[in-house]
Structure 1
Amino acid sequence: MTTTEIVKNIHHYCIGLSYLCAFLLEIARLLWPARGWRVAGLVFGAAGLFAHTAYLLVQQPSPAVPSGSVLMLAWVLALFYFYGTVHHAKQAWAVFVLPVVIGLVAVSRILLTAEPEHAAFDVGEWASGERFWGGVHGLLILFASVGVSVSFLASMMYLIQARRLRNKVSPGTVVPMLSLERLETMNRRALNIAFPLLTAGLLVGTLLLPHGLSFGDNWLSLKVLSTAGLWLEFLVLLYLRYGAHVPARRLALFSIAAFGLLLVALAASHPFAIGGVK
């Protein structure tokens, strides 16, 4: 079997199981500290990232199809996990990021089984300029989604760390984490970056909505409504942070809710996505 054939046989299960092994090894490293656990975890993490990258390059899932957009988001977060694990060697970075990556890979697989067999991105009749702006729209939404996901992770860790400090838990008896200040800074930067990207992505997407569909198929589709709702929630979050100066704990809860809305937006069918119609 050639290398190309091996790569073509990579599926969601290979990706997810590699990340799962990396996660379990990270848990083992926390329970029984030893350098070997960390090295083995990084090896499995690298294997998962390789399989993930190869799948995207060979299968080329469409970002307009829910399974494709979720899997691409999982890939960017997997990069975030691997870099963070190497850079923050003393922190339990993978313990928090990998479950999100594994969950997104699983969601992508579930969505894939529910999609029409020939689901695709309807660009056949697009002009070259529209294809270009469609790609810009997809990248803007993807990077905004990464910002929302990072904000979610920072918020989860912030709430856990704040509870530890409130209960005066000894740092030596729990999973090592970043300080509250660094987690709040991470959350703030993620929101500040994601909001303009999401705004620009929405504006480009609005101009690209197909005119042949009815008002309900365009503006009242779940994809459009959930993405617009996510933008409004971000607007509220920014006001609460910089205008009302609400406590960081409440902002963290709003950020977690925003991630849930993001998953709805990604899982919803895109007005451009077609399949099984011909």
Structure 2
Amino acid sequence: MTTTEIVKNIHHYCIGLSYLCAFLLEIARLLWPAKGWRITGLAFGAAGLFAHTAYLLVHQPSLAVPYGSVLLLAWVLALFYFYGTVHHAKQAWAVFVLPVVIGLVAMSRILLTAEPEHAAFDIGGWASGERFWGGIHGMLILFASVGVSVSFLASVMYLIQARRLRNKVSPGSVMPMLNLERLEAMNRWWLNFAFPMLTAGLLVGTLLIPNGPSLGDNWFSLKVLSTAGLWLEFLVLLYLRYGVHVPARRLALFSIVAFGLLLVALVASHPFAIGGAK
């Protein structure tokens, strides 16, 4: 079997199981501290990231279809996990990021079984300029998705850390985490990054929607409505943060809700996505 054939046989299961092993080894490292756990965990994480990257390069899933957008988001967060685990060696970074990555990979697999693997944009009547802006729209939404996801992770860690401090839990008896100031700053930075990306992506998408076969169906599709809802959620978040200075804990809860809206937007079928295997 050639290298190309081996790469083509990589499936979601290989990716997900590698990340799952890395996650379990990180848990073991926290329970029984030893250098070997971390090295082995990183090796499995690297294997999962390699398989993940190879799958994307070979199959080239479109951002227009749910399984493709979810799998690409999982890949970016996997990079985030690997970098963070190396950079924040003493923190329980992977314990929070890897479950999200594994969940997204599993979600992508479920979505793939419900839709043709090679579904793509319905671009039969599109000009080259429209195809270009369609790609820009997809990338902007992907960047916004990364920002929302990292904000979600920072919010979850913030709520856990705040609860620990409120209950006066000894730091030595629990898994190590970043302090509240850094987590709040992380949440703020990624929200500020995601909002302009989402806004620009929506503007580009709005210009493309009239090219669809049914204007009414496009505007009132679940994909469009959930993405618009996510944008309004961001608007409320920014107002609460900079307008009325709501406590960070409440903002963290809003960020978690925003992540839920993001998942709905990602799994919804795109107005331009069509079926049909090649």
TM-score (structure 1 length as normaliser): 0.98
Paired residues for 1:45-64 under 5 Å: 45-64=45-64
Per-residue CA deviations over 1:227-276 (Å, capped at 9, x if unaligned) read 00000000000000000111100000000000000000000000110014
Partner of 2:254: 254
Runs of 4+ in 1 over 6 A off after TM superposition: none
Partner of 1:102: 102
Task: Report the Cα distance in structure 1 between the residues aligned to 2:162 and 2:226, rounded to whole angstroms.
Answer: 31
SS for the counterpart of 2:91 is coil
Q: 1:196 to 1:117 in 2, by over 3 A?
A: closer
- The one-letter code sitting in structure 1 at the alignment partner of 2:70 is V
Partner of 1:128: 128
Task: Report the Cα distance in structure 1 between the residues aligned to 2:272 and 2:213, rounded to whole angstroms.
Answer: 10
Deviation at 1:119, TM superposition (A): 2.1
Work out whether 1:194 is the aligned partner of 2:210: no
Partner of 1:17: 17
Please tell me whether the aligned partners of residues 61 and 118 of structure 2 are also in contact (alpha carbons under 8 angstroms): no
Partner of 2:206: 206
Deviation at 1:27, TM superposition (A): 0.3
Gap runs ≥5 in structure 1: none
Per-residue CA deviations over 1:210-240 (Å, capped at 9, x if unaligned) read 4343333111000000000000000000000
Deviation at 1:209, TM superposition (A): 1.1
Partner of 2:147: 147
Deviation at 1:123, TM superposition (A): 2.3
Q: 1:5 to 1:211 in 2, by over 3 A?
A: same
Please tell me whether the aligned partners of residues 148 and 191 of structure 1 are also in contact (alpha carbons under 8 angstroms): yes
Work out whether 1:181 is the aligned partner of 2:199: no
Work out whether 1:237 is the aligned partner of 2:242: no
Please tell me whether the aligned partners of residues 25 and 40 of structure 2 are also in contact (alpha carbons under 8 angstroms): yes
Cα RMSD (Å) of the superposition?
1.3
Please tell me whether the aligned partners of residues 7 and 54 of structure 1 are also in contact (alpha carbons under 8 angstroms): yes
Task: Report the Cα distance in structure 1 between the residues aligned to 2:212 and 2:155, rounded to whole angstroms.
Answer: 41
Q: 1:152 to 1:91 in 2, by over 3 A?
A: same
SS for the counterpart of 1:209 is helix
Task: Report the Cα distance in structure 2 between the residues aligned to 1:117 and 1:94, rounded to whole angstroms.
Answer: 30
Per-residue CA deviations over 1:140-185 (Å, capped at 9, x if unaligned) read 0000000000000000000000000000000011010000000000
SS for the counterpart of 2:18 is helix
SS for the counterpart of 1:178 is coil
Please tell me whether the aligned partners of residues 210 and 271 of structure 1 are also in contact (alpha carbons under 8 angstroms): no
Task: Report the Cα distance in structure 2 between the residues aligned to 1:142 and 1:117, rounded to whole angstroms.
Answer: 19
Please tell me whether the aligned partners of residues 222 and 265 of structure 1 are also in contact (alpha carbons under 8 angstroms): yes
Please tell me whether the aligned partners of residues 210 and 272 of structure 1 are also in contact (alpha carbons under 8 angstroms): no
Q: 1:117 to 1:39 in 2, by over 3 A?
A: closer
How many percent of aligned residue pairs carry the same amino acid?
A: 89
Please tell me whether the aligned partners of residues 212 and 272 of structure 2 are also in contact (alpha carbons under 8 angstroms): no
Task: Report the Cα distance in structure 1 between the residues aligned to 2:101 and 2:218, rounded to whole angstroms.
Answer: 30
Q: 1:245 to 1:270 in 2, by over 3 A?
A: same
- The one-letter code sitting in structure 2 at the alignment partner of 1:116 is P
Work out whether 1:72 is the aligned partner of 2:72: yes
Count of residues in correspondence between the two structures: 278
Per-residue CA deviations over 1:1-46 (Å, capped at 9, x if unaligned) read 0000000000000000000000000000000000000000000000
Task: Report the Cα distance in structure 2 between the residues aligned to 1:117 and 1:223, rounded to whole angstroms.
Answer: 19
SS for the counterpart of 2:211 is coil
- The one-letter code sitting in structure 2 at the alignment partner of 1:27 is I
Please tell me whether the aligned partners of residues 212 and 271 of structure 2 are also in contact (alpha carbons under 8 angstroms): no
Please tell me whether the aligned partners of residues 140 and 197 of structure 1 are also in contact (alpha carbons under 8 angstroms): yes
Please tell me whether the aligned partners of residues 66 and 108 of structure 2 are also in contact (alpha carbons under 8 angstroms): yes
Please tell me whether the aligned partners of residues 143 and 197 of structure 1 are also in contact (alpha carbons under 8 angstroms): yes
